[in-house]
Structure 1
Amino acid sequence: MIDESKRARWIFAPYLLYLPIAIILSLSINNWVTSLWLGVFLPIYGLICFLCVKQLRKYSKRLRKRIRYGKVITYTIVIVFFLALKTLSVLWVCQEHKSLDSEKIDIIERKNYLVDKLVTSPRNVLNEMPSAIGVQFQGEWALYSCSMLSAALVNLSNLYPETKEENISYIDSLINIVLSPEIRYYDTMRWGEDPLESLDEDNSHISYLSHLAWMICGYREISGNHKYDELLTDLCETMNRRILSSKSMNLPTYPGESIYVPDMLVAIVALNQYADTHRGKYRSTVKKWVAKAQKDWLDKETGLLASFIDENGFLYDDAPIKGSYSALNCYYLTLIDEAFSKTQYQQLKALFWKDGIISGLKEYWDKTCYVGLDIDAGPIVFELGPSGTAFFAGSSTYFGDYNVRKEILATAEMAGHTIKIGNKRHYLLANVALVGESIMLAMRTHIKH
């Protein structure tokens, strides 16, 4: 047994042995699992937590003797203690959220994580999507993960030009993954025909085709490479023809279902970006669609672009205006019509934004939903939807509303909790929904150029 007076002296002996090993490993091995400072201070942090818990146990024993509800008080103290630790953790991570320059390391390391997860084989990408959501949504989430990462890489190429060359290579790989039969199977399954082998036919396939075209537009924008020009021309010609021959300039994502306006907007974005590099071709279609949207598809109560419309282009009487859909609509509109997008952003913020200890975008403006679950919105908690809140970061970044953007990043940290390993970091929730990590990176880097 060690004398009580000497325990304090000996308690640091293991740490003194650990310290030089941690320093040598951090300095000598590239991409070591932790940074130098984390390696040095993590054991001290653990010791502090251990001592605090030990003191709490002593204090709780005294309370149990004196107070009838000692256990309740003990559990309350422990919960408050860990909430305080979580608050300090959030404040520590969010200190980087002052500007895109101060966020650079965080952003690049999140990109590294996503590239590691998604720039791989099509089968591996699908396996990253939760199997519980079914084949269709696995395919949709895989497509969205790739297209949002592609959009983020385009943004990063403009923000940090030194990353452009590697980003071009990554987008090229993502396009080939999306082109694979495995990824497009979800759309083939629903329509009964392959979307790329039926371009001369009349079925919609609008979601798959538009995301692929948008990715190719981004690749062409930052690379100047004409590798996919023929395919892009075929995709845009097909989408334009089908849109103009439809009853309302809108196409269903799947047969027999309503028009999902955010899915249509991706097609309009792709046609608009194609027009930028092809002497305005299809710009007339874009302008007609936007004009009809402002005239016919704005919700009368909120003034926001509808989330759903029927195949004839009419608004439903009872269809809700969803925060997740509206925030996504607003993001896509920044790539088409800035003035229209800004009015939508201001209206969305006025009706759906909720300030508080945890700030975010409500999923519904006209009803209270403290807890719920939606395949698109995600788990609704205290009225807030994670998808809508993440998408809202795109418009708030674009319009320079940095107070809102900062609050969204703080909420993301509270709910998601950042994990850093080596030169990669991600939210813990990415282990469940990798698509959310891709969306958040694309949204927070959506700077106006």
Structure 2
Amino acid sequence: MFKNKITAKSLLRLAILSVIFFLGVYFIPHNWCAREAGTVFRNDGGIQGKMARQAEKMLSDDLGRNNFKTGSDLFNGEWLFGTYMMSGMGFGQMALMHPDRADEYLPHMEECIRKIQDPYVREFDKKSWGDDPIESLDRGSEHAAFLGYYNLLLSFHRLLDNGSEFSKLNDRITEVLAARLDKSPFLLLQSYPSEWYPVDNCAVFASIGLYDRATGSDHSRLLNLCMTKLRNEYTDPRSGLLYQSIDGNNGKMLDAPRGSGTCLGLYFLSFSEPSISRSLYVSAKRELQGGLLGFGGMKEYPASEKGGFGDIDSGPVIFGYGVSPTGFMIAGTRIHDDYGLFRKLYSTAYLCGSPCDSGGRRNFATGGHIGNAIMFVVMTAPSEKILEDFCARRIK
């Protein structure tokens, strides 16, 4: 009888301790990792400033393709280019949100633009096409993987600086991209020979639309056609997500709708097509959002698709969750003012990114240079309201 009482008490104690343990596991880790989320979401500047200083340090380093370990010289080159492009967008976004410090951030944005002008940084694209994307502007090669992204950075700088020293180059690239789109039967440009990716074309569309906002030019006829095509033919009707790639022979889906392309595409389109960006955001949140123990994540494939393994676009896919869609969706939460999801994704980025603060800088230890650049750009993405208010003031 006495032993039974002891056993009952022990079981009760074990049950209580188990409940406390599981409650602790559920509530403590993700809340700890998300403790800075509110500060970052409000653009208080401290954490974002540390990311900016890390990007400044990166600019002082002599980066090369050998600093990236993708296993492919092409992708190493892409990541070098992407590091400068994303960092440049991050500096521009800091200048947009903190106009009193624009004189500090714009020179760094300009340095990123100049880094990309180095033929060495463009070499990955030149090897794929057989000609340089800038030197061949008068010829037919489309170069969407380079020109769309680079021109978005140039158009953004033009928006922030009326007297941008890169105006002539921005004019020329925009003119060429618009002309090439106008000639395309599918209203898409090739990223590489015989490779059509809607997400890269979102950068092309956004660069032209943002150019119009910066200069007062009008490509609305072309862009309206492109947006109609994007909605009706390059967006999956079941999930509302962008197809990852298109067959250039018939304009039909070649790769399934995926999170990595959709979440990056909605970021690009926020600069010129906010309603399309919001529609993609709503679809991505509905179809891809998930998580565990309070940590948030975005799946690479919707439930309507079989799914697959990770690739260079998605990053590692773990139990269906992709590194790229999870990271890029952070930008979407800021653009479309969704603090609830931002907090969950921030906690995951903190847990997996292993941020280290030193010398007033924040380095995401697990992501390398490209990871730092992506975190910088997604954590500083301006809300739709901030961008619209800036454009309205600029017109006045």
TM-score for both structures, normalised by structure 2: 0.84
- Partner residue in 1 for 2:181: 243
- 3-state SS, counterpart of residue 429 of structure 1: coil
Task: Compute the displacement of 1:268 (Å).
Answer: 0.7
2:347 is the alignment partner of 1:406: no
Deviation for aligned residue 1:224: 2.5
Shift of 1:103: 5.1
Q: Quickly say closer, same or farther: Cα 1:373–1:341, change in 2 above 3 A.
A: closer
Q: Which has the larger radius of gyration?
A: 1
Aligned partner of 1:255 in structure 2 is 193
Once the two structures are superposed, residues 283-304 of structure 1 have per-residue CA deviations (whole angstroms, 9 ceiling, x without a partner) of 3221210122122222132132
In the alignment, is residue 217 of structure 1 matched against residue 155 of structure 2?
A: yes
TM superposition shift of 1:313: 5.8
User: C-alpha displacement at 1:315, in angstroms?
Assistant: 2.2
What is the CA–CA distance in structure 1 between the aligned matches of 2:43 and 2:379, rounded to whole Å? Answer: 13
Distance 1:345 1:331 in 2: 9
**Alignment of 1:97 onto 2:37:** yes
Partner of 1:333 in structure 2? 269
Amino acid corresponding to residue 198 of structure 2 in structure 1: V
With the length of structure 1 as denominator, give the TM-score of the two structures: 0.75
**Cα gap change, 1:319 to 1:212, in 2 (>3 Å):** closer
CA distance in 2 between partners of 1:102 and 1:400 (Å): 12
**Which residue in the other structure is 2:288 paired with?**
352
Q: Per chain length, whose mean CA-contact separation is higher, i.e. which structure has more relative contact order (CA < 8 Å, sep 6+)? A: 2
For the residues of structure 1 that align with 2:32 and 2:54, how far apart are their CA atoms?
A: 21
Match of 1:362 among 289, 299, 304: 299
Q: What displacement does 1:338 show? A: 1.8
Given candidates 54, 57, 66, the residue that maps to 1:113 is 54
Q: 1:160 to 1:90 in 2, by over 3 A?
A: farther
Partner of 1:439: 374
Change (3 A) 1:361 1:304: same
How many percent of aligned residue pairs carry the same amino acid?
22
2:96 is aligned to: 158
| Alignment match, 1:126 | 65
1:404 counterpart SS class: helix
Does the CA contact (< 8 Å) of 1:248 and 1:312 recur in 2? no
Q: Secondary structure at 1:320's aligned position in 2?
A: strand
Amino acid at match of 1:137: F
CA contact (8 A) 1:143 1:211 kept: no
Paired position in structure 1 for 2:311 = 374
Shift of 1:145: 1.4
The structure-2 alpha-carbon separation of the partners of 1:94 and 1:300, relative to structure 1 and needing over 3 Å to count, comes to closer
Alignment of 1:263-274 (within 5 A): 263-274=200-211
Answer yes or no: is the 8 Å Cα contact 1:243–1:251 preserved in 2.
yes
Q: Secondary structure of the equivalent of 1:242?
A: helix
1:49 matched residue in structure 2: none
Deviation (angstroms), 1:129:
2.1
CA distance in 2, matches of 1:256, 1:220: 31
Residue 214 of structure 2 aligns with an amino acid whose one-letter code is T
Amino acid in the other structure paired with 1:443: V
Map 1:21-420; keep pairs closer than 5 Å. 91-92=31-32, 94-99=34-39, 100-101=41-42, 104-121=45-62, 124-130=63-69, 132-257=70-195, 259-312=196-249, 314-316=251-253, 319-357=255-293, 358-366=295-303, 372-420=309-357
**Match of 2:358?**
421
**CA distance in 2: counterparts of 1:177 and 1:102, whole angstroms:** 27
Cα deviation, residue 388, structure 1: 0.4
Per-residue deviation at 1:166? 1.8
Residues 88 and 299 of structure 1: CA distance in aligned 2, closer, same or farther (over 3 Å) = closer
Deviations 1:349-405 (A, max 9, x none): 111111322321001123576x94311111111221111011111111111110100
Say if 1:225 and 1:129 are closer, same or farther in 2 by CA, change over 3 A.
Answer: farther
Q: Structure 2: which 5+ residue stretches go unaligned?
A: 1-20, 387-396
Counterpart amino acid of 1:444?
M
Cα 1:109–1:225 change in 2 (3 A) is same
